[in-house]
Structure 1
Amino acid sequence: MTSHDTTIDDAAWASPWRRRRVGEKVLLSVSLVLTALLTPPWPGCVLVACLSVFLILGPARIRASLLATVMIAPVTFLIIGALPVAIHLGGDGWGIGPVRINADGATTALGLIAHGIAGTLALMVLATTTPMVDVITWLRALRVPDPLLDIASLTYRLLFVLLSTTLAVRQAQVARLGDAASWRRRWHALASTIGSIILRSWQRATNLQRGLEGRGYEESLRTLSPRRARSWPFIGVSLASVAGVWATCWVLA
């Protein structure tokens, strides 16, 4: 498995929606996020989640396996964060010993999870279709200060340096150990390779710094941005889709 198979940025570069204007995708994604936050879990969040998944897997042509992979961490965080809302000590409700779960707490926790998942999927509409370089170029056009954009760009690049180094070390570890190694041997090998990952990442980050110095970096890391025509049909369909979610919520309320 390579970084090309696992990173959202690579998928965004390959997506046909990469040719669309960033502002149009931001409008769609932010509209869906606000809808997920302001509408009830049913049917608002469910409709936003279904619409977002359809857009990501359908018109944007993002692999379902990649979407599932990048959603594991947010969903896990949401579930862990909702547990204190559903679980309490003492009082009425179902449970074991002093740990109790009542209907109101469980309903509130499920609502929070629904809002979080729907909002995350709505944000993925932008993340999986827009490379970071396009986002930074768009923010620069909005006159966001260059130092802030350069810090964001370098941090993002260094994260991928760490990811690619980790994957390379992982491939070497699998090739050396195979599938028959014991868990004890695997954990020992993992502990011994953490230092290698850090050192290799530091070396590659140093090479990135030297490359910037050789390029003559002084003020900002500007990149060329292709000119993209505004698509009024895309804007109209996006607004109509969001309006349809709100209309459905109003009818079923």
Structure 2
Amino acid sequence: MLAIDAAAYRSPWRGHHPAAKALLAGTLLLCALVLPPWPGAPITAAITLAVALGWARVPPRAFLRSARAPLAFVVTGALTFLVSVDTSGLAWAPGGAARAGEVIGRCAAAVLSQLLFAMTTPLADVLPRLARRRGLAGLAEVAGLVYRMLSVVLETVDAVRRAQADRLGARSWRARWRSVTGLAAQIFVLSFDRARRLEDGLGDRGYTGGLAVSVEPLPLRGRFLALAPLPGVVAAVLTVALSLVPSSVPGLG
């Protein structure tokens, strides 16, 4: 099981309705996208971390480890703003550092807000409810199948890598390269076979375009629902207040 899934199933917020948690995380995501990058992004990110680690009691190590890969991708992509390409070759882009900082700030705040929802809400609580909405049944079904296949692929990768390690597949660089290529080929074959068996199983069970699943009832608690937009409101108010401070001080602005 992925660390995100484990945290979601153990979350103290598991008993809250996904819609209320989506409202909370969605408000913070909106703040990350709409508010000025400075100071909006740092404020939104700080409030999201406080909500996740304090209110939702998400394990700090799991939260930060889950954020590590997407944030590394964001930083790597933002580095391209630092250079420009023209007929004379590569050069430092004017204003590139500021632009890169804005992108990193917005994306970091957005990633943290999405992780807040993902690490407090299991996908099994979300997809069946989406499938009940008109026009979203197909999307929910595809998302569920992709999620299931992703879990199967990760489990297969782990099993194959352990088998290769037991056979000294990492004793040298040449052996490691051979193990990686073998792993890629094996994963493709096994994933294709699993997908075919899944399709055969659905057909044998009379699949007609929809999967009937039981949904655990989760009530919408009024107090939590009322407090859900509060972190986003606080982020917006603090951003506006700090943005107005320099213009009100003589010699600044």
> TM bucket by the smaller chain?
0.7 to 0.9
Please report how far the alpha carbon of residue 17 of structure 1 lies from its aligned counterpart in structure 2 after TM superposition.
1.7
Q: Which residue pairs with 1:142 in the alignment?
A: 133
* Number of matched pairs: 241
Q: CA–CA distance in 1 between the matches of 2:230 and 2:136?
A: 34
Q: CA–CA distance in 1 between the matches of 2:96 and 2:229?
A: 35
Task: Choose from 115, 137, 158 the match for 1:167.
Answer: 158
Are residue 238 (structure 1) and residue 234 (structure 2) matched? Answer: no
1:55-74 → structure 2 map (5 Å cutoff): 55-74=51-70
Please report how far the alpha carbon of residue 98 of structure 1 lies from its aligned counterpart in structure 2 after TM superposition.
4.7
> Are residues 168 and 53 of structure 1, via their aligned partners in 2, closer, same or farther at CA, if it must alter by over 3 Å?
farther
Q: Over residues 63-116 of structure 1, what are the superposed CA-to-partner deviations in whole Å (9 max), with x where a residue is unaligned?
A: 3333333323322332233223222258xxxxxx953254x2211110111001
Q: Which residue pairs with 2:248 in the alignment?
A: none
- In the superposition, the TM-score normalised over structure 2's length comes to 0.84
Q: Which residue pairs with 1:93 in the alignment?
A: none
> Are residues 251 and 164 of structure 1, via their aligned partners in 2, closer, same or farther at CA, if it must alter by over 3 Å?
same
Contact 1:85 1:108 in 2 (8 A): yes
Q: CA–CA distance in 2 between the matches of 1:13 and 1:213?
A: 31
Q: Which residue pairs with 1:177 in the alignment?
A: 168
Contact 1:31 1:242 in 2 (8 A): yes
Contact 2:43 2:239 in 1 (8 A): no
Are residue 199 (structure 1) and residue 218 (structure 2) matched? Answer: no
Name the SS for the 2:92 alignment partner.
strand
Amino acid at match of 1:251: A
Q: CA–CA distance in 2 between the matches of 1:184 and 1:61?
A: 45
Amino acid at match of 1:105: G
Q: Which residue pairs with 2:246 in the alignment?
A: none
Please report how far the alpha carbon of residue 137 of structure 1 lies from its aligned counterpart in structure 2 after TM superposition.
1.9
Name the SS for the 1:137 alignment partner.
helix
1:34-45 → structure 2 map (5 Å cutoff): 34-45=30-41
Q: CA–CA distance in 2 between the matches of 1:229 and 1:127?
A: 19
Q: Which residue pairs with 1:46 in the alignment?
A: 42
Q: CA–CA distance in 1 between the matches of 2:204 and 2:179?
A: 37
Which segments of 5 or more consecutive residues in structure 2 lack a partner in the other structure?
244-253
Are residue 189 (structure 1) and residue 185 (structure 2) matched? Answer: no
Contact 2:83 2:90 in 1 (8 A): no
Further displaced range: 105-114 or 186-195: 186-195
Task: Choose from 88, 92, 107 the match for 1:100.
Answer: 92
Name the SS for the 1:58 alignment partner.
helix
Task: Choose from 154, 157, 167 the match for 2:148.
Answer: 157
- In the superposition, the TM-score normalised over structure 1's length comes to 0.84
Which segments of 5 or more consecutive residues in structure 1 lack a partner in the other structure?
91-96
Contact 1:18 1:130 in 2 (8 A): yes
> Are residues 210 and 58 of structure 1, via their aligned partners in 2, closer, same or farther at CA, if it must alter by over 3 Å?
farther
Please report how far the alpha carbon of residue 7 of structure 1 lies from its aligned counterpart in structure 2 after TM superposition.
4.3
Q: Which residue pairs with 2:210 in the alignment?
A: 220
Please report how far the alpha carbon of residue 132 of structure 1 lies from its aligned counterpart in structure 2 after TM superposition.
1.9
Name the SS for the 2:229 alignment partner.
helix
Q: CA–CA distance in 2 between the matches of 1:98 and 1:76?
A: 24
Name the SS for the 1:217 alignment partner.
coil
The RMSD of aligned alpha carbons is: 2.3
Amino acid at match of 2:123: M
